Structure 1
Amino acid sequence: MKNLCVLLLFCACAPLVLLQGPGSGTNGNLRLCVVEGRGPLKRGAAFCPLLDEEPSGLECVLGTDQLDCLRRISKGTVDFGVFSPEDLIASQWANIDVLVTDELRSRFRPYERSIVSVVNRRILPDRPSSLDFVLRNTTLCHPGVGANDLRPLSDTLAGYLESLIIPRACDPNLTLTENKIKAVSNFFHMACKAGPWVPDVERDAELKRKYPSLCGACANPACTVHDKYWGPTGTLQCLVSNAGEVMWGELDDVNFFFGLNTTSATSDPYPISKQYAFLCRDGTWQPIENNLSPCVWLNRPWPVVIAKRKAAAAVSILVGSIKEDDLFGTHWRKALTALLEIRQVPTPLNPPKTPLDYLASAQGFREAYSQSGCDPPRHITLCTTSNLERNKCEWLSEAGAVYGVNPPLQCIVRNSTRDCLQAVRGRECDVAVGDSEWLMPSTRDFGLEPLLYETTPIVEKMDTVVAYVRKTDMITKMEELKGKRAAFPQYDGIAWHTVLQYLREKEKITCAGAMTGYFSDICAPGVEAVKGDVSQANIDTFTNGCIKNDGVVSGEVAALQTLVEGKSDVAFISMKTVNLYQNKQIIESWADNIIDIVPICPEENKKYCYLSWSNIGHIFAASNITDMRRHEIVNVFTKLDQRFGKHQPLHNVMFTMFGPFNHVLDVLFHNNTKSLSTANIFKMHPYASMPLNFERTILQDSTDSCQITDLARDSAFNFAPTFLLLASCLVITIIGS
């Protein structure tokens, strides 16, 4: 009887099981991962609801970027999505088990792009010869490289084409980028390689002065993107104007330029096309005219649909069922074509292929991403402070490698920012990331300096130090803060040193006077963590008014809480923290009741109202590294920023450098970062007109600082000798004693 009940229960449930779809969504719905991109058109918001309104069997999941979607597919939380061939390279390197089910072509041909080489026939020898023999000491028309996938060439593809004819250069005294530039300069007699060679403007100008022959064939020696020989069309103009003798370009551009393979019965081929020929990778050549399938150096495949292996069959059936009428319909199938960005009926792969097998059919493409590097290999090692940060760093490294960012990024993990700064000083790694609170310790205690800054042009989002008070206390001037209770986010941070500097200059007092006589009480979290013989009485002096929760709580929100709860009279915190509080974005019970808090503006800065400002993040490196290594670090991170930062508003980027990672904000870098910049940023608007910058003034003037023992009015203040303050205070205290 028991067995019969089990059998009946199984039979009753069987229909439900059969109705369950193969996807990871509700009732087995297939989940599609959609990346919105940064353009004004939000496909997900426009079309995803249409999938829910009808029985489509589909659900949308919004991904941060392409690699986020790949990670979701790998974890099984989504089933399929649309990806570029570069994304497939990343999935292959990350060992993500997926299958390519369909190509999404927009034209009736096997590859999206085909790269060819066109040469002036006058350089061709009488018989087929090696590429070296044909091209050495000729003049190159280079399309330039850029952040676009192929228009112009990416660093990876351009480097691959160059590697087919130019011996690798590995001078240890030059950056890898300069090695490549020098090799091209030595191989060709002259070239027009217009546009930026590296993102940093000063370094770009320096390299162009050092290798002028690579700009010698340009229309203008400035060699910029505004040169008439820059880009796909400019490269062809360079060739036919006899400024150069050889070029790489897209077959479509060549055909259009010379009037070849057109459907117009009245069109005549470019009259001088017979002066040029297609150069092949084996050193042979072919005529341009009447050549329907010329020799190609490299093919770039179409975007594709990929799916996790378990759902691949169902996805293949779904996408394969799309008809031409669906592109113009009004039901959920039209929404699906819009979400997949389909322009013509998809081309199925029967059976579905692994990314490796799919890419193998495109000549040169996979090989471009498997080039060997210099020996010994070089890396830029970044220190992270958590497994989540390291995970993001490793995905950033994968994405950078796909787009030819060299040297590649390596990632290590340490327990804290202080440990990372120590690791940089000890040469265990090259760089560490830290916010403005670490500016003074990094330079003073570890001998580091910021090579790059995480910048934002919005003052309210910068790291600012503002004196905030309760409006009901009627405090309107800085001098009225004397005798009040003060709260700092942390000891030895930007607010701490900013206020010390201000009091020293305005009140003409020493460190001892500022710390033990000016304020009636001070909350400075971090005192309790100072190494050395620090008595509990001394710790209590600087932490009695702090927020405590299993220890002293540090940070801007904690300093703000002391002000809101009446434990302090002034909190030296940033505009952005107060904005979070006023907009009810601090999810804590004490922040439910909003009270009026107002800033006190110093007399010398009524416009902005802050005591100092700094950039929101910094990439620290040892101050004594070589110029070559400095250039290499700056080049790697600015290229990563150029490719994966916020510079491509209409492009679905492979990876988001400044954005959520695994649903967490401000991982490794800040979400508010607009770009990574060198110190040149301080010469530009709006930064150049903003007074009281911490990095350029207080930090540079205060790399030494007085010890805590110099603050003592009596022997009760016997802090550890490593507990440091401002250099100027040290001099004054010593003289005064």
Structure 2
Amino acid sequence: MVKKMDVNVFIVLFCFIKVVLLQGTGSGNNGNLRLCIVEGRGLYKRAPTHCPILDKENAGVECVLGTDRLDCLRRISKGTVDFGVFSPEDLVAAQWANIDVLVTNELRLRSRPFARNIVAVVNRRILPTESSTLHAVLRNTTLCHPGESMDYLRPLSETLSAYLETLVLERSCDPTRSHTENRLKALADFYGKACKAGPWVPDRTRDAELKRQYPSLCAACAKTCMAGDIYWGNSGALTCLTDGAGDVTWGEADDVKSYFKIREDEPLTGSENFAYLCRNGTWKDLTEEPCIWLRKPWNVIVAKRKASEAVSRLTQSLTNSSVVVDRHWRGALSALLESNQALPEPLHPPRAPMDYLAQADGFREAYSQAGCDPPRHITFCTTSLLAKNKCEWLSEAGAVYGIAPPLQCIMRNSIEECLKAVSDRECDATAADSDWLVAGMRDYALTPILHEITPIVEKTGSIVAYINADAKITKMADLRGKRAAFPRYDGAAWHSVKDYITKHEKMSCKDYVEGYFKEICAPGMDGKKCYEAGETEALKSLVDGDSDVAFISMKAFNSFKETNGTSENIKKIVPLCPEGNQKFCFVSWSNLGHIFVANNLTNIRRHEIINVFTKLDQLFGKHPPFHNAMFSMYGSFNHEMEVIFHSNTKSLATINVLSTHPYNKIPYNFELAMSNVTDFTCGFGAKTTPSLVMLLVTLVVFLINS
């Protein structure tokens, strides 16, 4: 008996070894398959826990860390990795981007063919005595809307919710209203009342405006029309229905059965008063098999075409025991594939993404809805091919989750050209840091509509006065008559110092420019260049003794000190804290970056741009615990940092955030200071606008000809 068991174990081990040896078509060392992994934002990290086991036991699989799931898809497309785990929404993005991959396995968490089955439940009081159309059954009834959220774990994304709505009512495409307002108006016009609780748009001020504008969509709520209302969310919408506040709602089939206790011996009292409503206008008892409006597929394993067979063989070697108790490479691989609770269900043969999605009723159709004519876009200007590429992927990711209008990405050669393109209405928006704040406002008639914010003071765009500790300088007023170094002319440091000194010394702008400092080096001023533009160069000027004060950011100083910490000169450099800010010790601080739009933008277009970018931020920014790992707005992109947005950005916000804690506790904000300036034409601080140049040229030509 013992010998027979030993033989069986040997045979099983031999089969497993054979599976590993059969791979060989991967892109890794010795033909190993390379698995692309996206880490979550929690403390637990799968890669350092499980990847070493794969290496140690020669599993034939190597780990590669991806920034996000779309990064993994790009790597599969380029052939540098072989497979990974993706959501059905990722498959839509892959199709739109023409990425050639195959779906090899489903990752089922339950023994059913689809992850979500969305049904409609109605109160029988609204059902007619005879068969009717869906439109006729529901018109002027009360809707208990389950709501939408940027939380991707909820069953209905904005795309799927909008799809369900369009199955019932006609789309509104009024060009004088924003995309969001058109959706809300269509709902308000069709239903008599509704409870659409939760945020309608991320900006709270605009959200409150819309709820005042469409009160019928909140009329059926218990109290607040916010996320805390008892009728908000999946179970809340069902409660709205059973309380008699509403007539119809959408819900997940299992949630409905559980809520009404259909699978139990004692159904919920009164459950006979409700029924499933079908898309053709008919209905069924809750005890019957429901008619499904929309199905959502499971997450899947996706592989590049060349490696799909090897990936299929690899996943077939996983068993229930490996998922649950195996502490060797199969257990590690199961954890990395996020299949700890279920086995990867193989697809025979592997399928193209759209063919896989086609089996889920309504899901693929939800992503091919006809838009309004003419279509709307938000055209965004970038300054490099890499930034344009990131913008396009951000646009794809947003469109998958129903964020509209979608981004359209263009490229110009510089920030100046992008600012001019926005000013000339060649595009709608661009992004730039605070060095371009004054130039954008003054020269191009632009306004910063959104700001890249962070609550960590040391990571903001701070401007600090750095001096030599041996100098006889103890306060800001001692800088009069000294030599000053700026990173560049007309940037954040230049205007911050000018604003601070003119206010605290009670002197005119003209007097400051003409005589406050003994010498000024600000590359770009009057065509002079004492050093190349940049914070490092300004600091070097101080370290080398060519200047008495350098106005640069804390970040630049700390970075320089890390690499030059052994220098005796750098050890002598200290910050000079201005009056009124001994705690933080900076002359000014600004947000990391800004999204600029034209001053004369209509309110509707302004709301639309704010809504799109703040929704993208909620989905793909740093909003725990529901950060969507499909795409990363603020991280690395194609191995490069600071592409379009800054990596330290916490979120995008309007200027109103500066009146909230902790921002209202930090003095000397640059954006607020500059927003109160009405005249930037101080001495040689002025830049001639393009329109003024043309006026002067015309005048000269006129005088010559006359």
The one of 528, 546, 559 aligned to 1:567: 546
Letter in 2 for 1:238: C
Answering whether residue 191 of structure 2 is matched by residue 193 of structure 1, we say no
Q: Which runs of 5+ in 2 are unaligned?
A: 1-20, 691-706
Partner of 1:338: 335
Partner of 2:399: 401
Q: 1:481: how far off? A: 1.8
In structure 2, distance between residues paired with 1:254 and 1:71? 39
Letter in 2 for 1:111: F
Partner of 1:322: 318
Answering whether residue 518 of structure 2 is matched by residue 520 of structure 1, we say yes
Distance change in 2, residues 1:237/1:475 (3 Å): same
In structure 2, distance between residues paired with 1:474 and 1:74? 62
In structure 1, distance between residues paired with 2:484 and 2:534? 14
Answering whether residue 470 of structure 2 is matched by residue 472 of structure 1, we say yes
> Is the contact between residue 443 and residue 688 of structure 2 (CA under 8 Å) also seen in structure 1?
no
Q: 1:520: how far off? A: 2.6
**Is the deviation greater in 698-707 or in 58-67?**
698-707
Partner of 1:240: 242
> Is the contact between residue 35 and residue 652 of structure 1 (CA under 8 Å) also seen in structure 2?
no
Letter in 2 for 1:109: R
Answering whether residue 662 of structure 2 is matched by residue 683 of structure 1, we say no
Map 1:651-730; keep pairs closer than 5 Å: 651-708=627-684
Q: 1:612: how far off? A: 1.4
Distance change in 2, residues 1:111/1:332 (3 Å): same
Map 1:37-56; keep pairs closer than 5 Å: 37-56=40-59
Q: For residues 278-319 of structure 1, give each alpha carbon's deviation from its aligned partner in whole angstroms, at most 9, with x where no partner exists.
A: 000111111102x2x311000000000000001000001101
Distance change in 2, residues 1:569/1:319 (3 Å): same
Partner of 2:352: 354
Aligned residue for 2:594, secondary structure, equals strand
The one of 484, 492, 495 aligned to 2:493: 495
Aligned residue for 1:31, secondary structure, equals strand
Partner of 1:447: 445
Distance change in 2, residues 1:470/1:288 (3 Å): same
Partner of 1:486: 484
Aligned residue for 2:150, secondary structure, equals coil
Distance change in 2, residues 1:19/1:81 (3 Å): closer
The one of 34, 44, 48 aligned to 2:37: 34
In structure 1, distance between residues paired with 2:35 and 2:472? 57
> Is the contact between residue 66 and residue 652 of structure 1 (CA under 8 Å) also seen in structure 2?
no
Answering whether residue 84 of structure 2 is matched by residue 81 of structure 1, we say yes
Partner of 1:377: 375
In structure 1, distance between residues paired with 2:255 and 2:58? 44
Q: For residues 184-243 of structure 1, give each alpha carbon's deviation from its aligned partner in whole angstroms, at most 9, with x where no partner exists.
A: 0110000110000000000000000011111111100x2010000101111111000000
Answering whether residue 274 of structure 2 is matched by residue 271 of structure 1, we say no
Answering whether residue 151 of structure 2 is matched by residue 148 of structure 1, we say yes
Q: For residues 248-287 of structure 1, give each alpha carbon's deviation from its aligned partner in whole angstroms, at most 9, with x where no partner exists.
A: 000111011011235xxxx411121111100001111111
Aligned residue for 2:312, secondary structure, equals helix
Q: 1:652: how far off? A: 4.8
In structure 2, distance between residues paired with 1:511 and 1:351? 75
Partner of 2:283: 285
Letter in 2 for 1:143: P
The one of 213, 219, 226 aligned to 2:228: 226
Distance change in 2, residues 1:318/1:69 (3 Å): same
Map 1:621-660; keep pairs closer than 5 Å: 621-649=597-625, 651-660=627-636
Distance change in 2, residues 1:722/1:400 (3 Å): closer
In structure 1, distance between residues paired with 2:153 and 2:426? 37
Partner of 1:733: none
Q: For residues 358-387 of structure 1, give each alpha carbon's deviation from its aligned partner in whole angstroms, at most 9, with x where no partner exists.
A: 000000000111111111111000000000
In structure 2, distance between residues paired with 1:655 and 1:631? 24
Q: 1:94: how far off? A: 0.4
Aligned residue for 1:406, secondary structure, equals coil
Distance change in 2, residues 1:225/1:75 (3 Å): same
Partner of 1:579: 558
Letter in 1 for 2:286: I
Q: 1:607: how far off? A: 2.1
Letter in 1 for 2:249: M
In structure 2, distance between residues paired with 1:599 and 1:42? 39
Query: TM-score, normalized by length of structure 2?
Result: 0.92
Distance change in 2, residues 1:430/1:591 (3 Å): farther
In structure 2, distance between residues paired with 1:110 and 1:379? 37
> Is the contact between residue 620 and residue 628 of structure 2 (CA under 8 Å) also seen in structure 1?
no
Partner of 2:590: 614
Letter in 2 for 1:317: R
In structure 2, distance between residues paired with 1:254 and 1:428? 50
In structure 2, distance between residues paired with 1:691 and 1:417? 29
Answering whether residue 166 of structure 2 is matched by residue 163 of structure 1, we say yes
Aligned residue for 2:172, secondary structure, equals coil
Q: For residues 58-106 of structure 1, give each alpha carbon's deviation from its aligned partner in whole angstroms, at most 9, with x where no partner exists.
A: 1000001110000110111100000000000000000000000000101
Answering whether residue 66 of structure 2 is matched by residue 69 of structure 1, we say no
Answering whether residue 527 of structure 2 is matched by residue 539 of structure 1, we say yes
Aligned residue for 2:575, secondary structure, equals strand
In structure 2, distance between residues paired with 1:166 and 1:245? 16
Distance change in 2, residues 1:200/1:650 (3 Å): closer
Q: 1:504: how far off? A: 2.0
Answering whether residue 315 of structure 2 is matched by residue 312 of structure 1, we say no
Partner of 2:121: 118
In structure 1, distance between residues paired with 2:222 and 2:354? 42
> Is the contact between residue 278 and residue 287 of structure 1 (CA under 8 Å) also seen in structure 2?
yes
In structure 2, distance between residues paired with 1:304 and 1:651? 19
Q: For residues 553-604 of structure 1, give each alpha carbon's deviation from its aligned partner in whole angstroms, at most 9, with x where no partner exists.
A: 21222222222333322110112222223344xxx89989852421111112
**Is the deviation greater in 473-482 or in 171-180?**
473-482
> Is the contact between residue 65 and residue 656 of structure 1 (CA under 8 Å) also seen in structure 2?
yes
The one of 210, 215, 235 aligned to 1:207: 210
Aligned residue for 1:118, secondary structure, equals strand
> Is the contact between residue 65 and residue 654 of structure 1 (CA under 8 Å) also seen in structure 2?
yes
> Is the contact between residue 581 and residue 591 of structure 1 (CA under 8 Å) also seen in structure 2?
no
Distance change in 2, residues 1:722/1:114 (3 Å): closer
Letter in 2 for 1:640: L
Q: For residues 4-29 of structure 1, give each alpha carbon's deviation from its aligned partner in whole angstroms, at most 9, with x where no partner exists.
A: xxxxxxxxxxxxxx988100001111
**Is the deviation greater in 227-236 or in 498-507?**
498-507
**Is the deviation greater in 476-485 or in 432-441?**
476-485
> Is the contact between residue 602 and residue 611 of structure 1 (CA under 8 Å) also seen in structure 2?
yes
> Is the contact between residue 101 and residue 316 of structure 1 (CA under 8 Å) also seen in structure 2?
yes
The one of 530, 535, 554 aligned to 1:556: 535
Q: 1:127: how far off? A: 1.8
In structure 1, distance between residues paired with 2:27 and 2:398? 30
Letter in 1 for 2:611: N
**Is the deviation greater in 458-467 or in 558-567?**
558-567
Aligned residue for 2:490, secondary structure, equals coil
Letter in 2 for 1:597: I
In structure 1, distance between residues paired with 2:261 and 2:462? 59
Q: 1:511: how far off? A: 4.2
> Is the contact between residue 39 and residue 650 of structure 1 (CA under 8 Å) also seen in structure 2?
no
Partner of 1:599: 575
Aligned residue for 1:581, secondary structure, equals helix
Partner of 1:216: 219
In structure 1, distance between residues paired with 2:205 and 2:258? 37
Give the fraction of aligned pairs with identical amino acids, expressed as a percent: 59
In structure 2, distance between residues paired with 1:594 and 1:506? 29
Q: 1:149: how far off? A: 2.6
Aligned residue for 1:614, secondary structure, equals coil
